Amino acid sequence: MIPPKKTRPESEYPPRVSPILHEPQSPSIQILKTKFFQSCASLPIAALVGWLSLPGLAAEDWPEFRGPTGQGLSTATNVPTQWSATSNVVWKVEIPGEGWSSPVLVKGKIYLTTAVGDSTNTSLRTLCVDAKNGHIQWNVEVLNPAPDAAQAMHKKNSLASPTPLVRDGRVYVHFGHMGTAALDLSGKILWQQTTLKYSPMHGNGGSPALVGDTLVINCDGETDPFVAALDAKTGAVRWKTPRDIASARPFSFSTPLAIEVDGATQIISPGSGLVGGYDPKDGHEIWRARYGDGFSVVSRPVFAHGLLYISSSFMRPLLYAIKPAAAKGDVTDTHVAWTYAKGIPNTSSPLVVGDELYIVSDSGIATCFDACTGNLHWSERLGGGFSASPVLAEGRIYFQNEEGVGTVLKAGKTFEVLAKNDLGERTLASPAVTDNTIFLRSKAHLWRIGQ
């Protein structure tokens, strides 16, 4: 999914010593528009399209990548804080094939994708697992792409990396350039869309976003990147918008996020070198902000306090806080509130809890900022490499590293580790959370962790 990581010198990382509290603004923070900070406290946290109030969506559901808000926030209770490969494991089931799509949960059923076979005969499949006992209820082949479509990819990617989305009795699954499909909850295929062709680089990674009756996907390949929307009922292409970027490396892997700006819905879609706000009706670009040479963008943006938080990803990632615009045009010089340059993730998505913003770099450095100003509260090493995005539950932040170790922190302006939990198996997928439970996908298994 991403190119080999460029090693940075040790001096570029925060120190290993105790947490840094309320550090004054440093050269790493570039304050471009102080008026944003003056008004930040009065800005409501904008309502996301797709929050818990949607019909048919229960509070315990986790229906898409990063949960009901798409931002890693859970309202679950009695969520476990301690586990291992042998303790607090309610069940563990082997998942056939290979895939790094994150599990989603709706009405007691878990949905995920996998790829079975080899480069000459690949079966792209969707599975439904009973959350109560771990039994696989159905396992359906969705697509059987041509051998040349299942090309070589990055070692941290798979042919089934995008996460399913479940809404209104349908399961939407996306396999990048190989196709997209919708199934009903019994596993019956309702439609398949395989006409949106592009040449991927390192495989696929971005998950779909549902905006009303429109399924939006990023198609950022090695040439001619674009954003596309499908009719959620039929799979027909509604619109296709070119990125219009000058980057020599246009490939990226991010997941769109729908937000409201001045009462109107926008689709926020990061790509190489820029992030744009798009109109869900016809796909036209409303605004854009540039971030230089950033490419291979993986993380999903988050939106709080009237600001979007986005990583520019490779090679040297910067964290951007951007005020989305209602008017059309390039807003790079007017709407970037602040940036930060150290310990920024290439892969993992940010998390906002109250007034605090949390990130974890690919090399395992967790950092907490003031979300409005970018002032640093603390920055500490968790250990290991990170691809999964953090999750909030009951005032705790859950970080899952690639080596299978989950670190639980107390949310707040001081750094406090509550637990470290080792599954002993590689984990790149992000967790799903519900009452009394965390679901984790590892290289070979799906786990239900419970009290």
pLDDT band, residue 395 (cuts 50/70/90): very high
Give the CATH number for residue 386. Answer: 2.130.10.10
**Domain span at 371:** 14-450
Residue 70, pLDDT score: 96
pLDDT at res. 230:
97
Contact in structure between 440 and 400 (CB atoms under 8 Å): yes
Partnered with residue 338 across adjacent β-strands are 321
% residues pLDDT > 70 (the chain) = 82
Of the listed ranges 111-115, 189-193, 343-347, the least confidently predicted one is: 343-347
Quick one: CA dihedral 324, 330, 331, 336, positive or negative?
A: positive
Average pLDDT over residues 304-330: 90
How many whole angstroms separate alpha carbon 416 and alpha carbon 324?
33
Is 288 part of a structural domain of the chain? Answer: yes
Token pair of 388 as six digits: 């999964």
Work out the mean pLDDT of the chain and round it to a whole number.
85
pLDDT tens digits for range 53-85: 444 555 589 999 999 999 999 999 999 999 999
* Residue that the structure tokens 């996908």 belong to: 441
- For residue 38, report the phi and psi dihedrals to the nearest 5 degrees: -65, -30
Report the pLDDT value the prediction gives residue 59, as an integer from 0 to 100: 55
2 belongs to a structural domain: no
Q: Is residue 1 part of a domain?
A: no
User: According to the model, what pLDDT value does residue 11 have?
Assistant: 33
Which pLDDT value is given to residue 104? Answer: 98
Under 8 Å CB-to-CB from 11, ≥6 apart: which residues?
none
Q: Which residues contact 365 (CB under 8 A, 6 or more apart)?
A: 13, 14, 343, 379, 380, 381, 382
Q: What is the pLDDT of residues 162-175, one digit of tens each?
A: 999 999 999 999 99
Instruction: Assign residue 55 a region (left: φ > 0; alpha: ψ between -120 and 50; beta: otherwise).
Output: beta
Report yes or no on 8 lying in a domain.
Answer: no
Statement: the pTM of the whole predicted model exceeds 0.85: yes
In a domain, 284, yes or no: yes
403 φ, ψ (degrees, to nearest 5): -85, 0
Q: Pairing state of beta strands 121-130 and 136-143?
A: antiparallel
Answer yes or no: are the C-beta atoms of 324 and 332 closer than 8 Å: no
Instruction: Give the model confidence (pLDDT) of 203-231 as tens digits.
Output: 687 899 999 999 999 998 778 889 999 99
Between CA 273 and CA 211 the distance in angstroms is: 24
CA distances to 75, 394, 423, 442 from 435, in Å: 8, 10, 20, 21
Ranges of beta strands (E only) in 16-120 are 89-94, 104-106, 109-118
Please give the Cα distance from 227 to 320 (Å, whole number): 21
Are 337 and 321 contacting, i.e. CB atoms less than 8 angstroms apart? yes
Q: Could you tell me if 211 and 165 are in contact, meaning their C-beta atoms sit under 8 angstroms apart?
A: no
DSSP annotation string for 1-35: --PPPPP--GGGSPPSSSPPPSPPP-TT-----HH
More confident residue, 132 or 327: 132
Question: 214 in a domain, yes or no?
Answer: yes
Tokens 């490419």 belong to 295
Question: Residue 34 — pLDDT band, cuts 50, 70, 90?
Answer: very low
**Which token pair is 266?**
């926008």
Q: Quote the percentage of the chain above a pLDDT of 90.
A: 67
φ/ψ of 148, rounded to 5, equals -75, -15
Please enumerate in sequence order all residues whose Cβ is within 8 A of that of 10, keeping only pairs 6 or more positions apart, or say none.
none
Report whether pLDDT(4) > 80.
no
Q: Which residues are CB-neighbours of 155 under 8 A, at least 6 positions away?
A: none
The upper half-sphere exposure of residue 71, i.e. CA atoms within 13 Å in the direction of its Cβ, equals: 28
pLDDT in tens, 225-272: 899 999 999 999 999 999 887 667 776 678 999 999 999 999 999 988
pLDDT of residue 22: 27
Number of domains in the chain: 1
Q: Report the alpha-carbon distance of residue 191 to residue 247 in Å, rounded.
A: 34
User: What is the spatial distance between Cα 60 and Cα 76, in angstroms, rounded to a whole number?
Assistant: 6
Residue 156 counted as domain residue: yes
Q: Annotate 356-371 with b (16+ C-beta within 10 A) or e (fewer).
A: bbbbbbbbbbbbbbbb
Q: Which of 35-39, 106-110, 304-308, 416-420 has the lowest mean pLDDT?
A: 35-39
Residue 337 in domain: yes
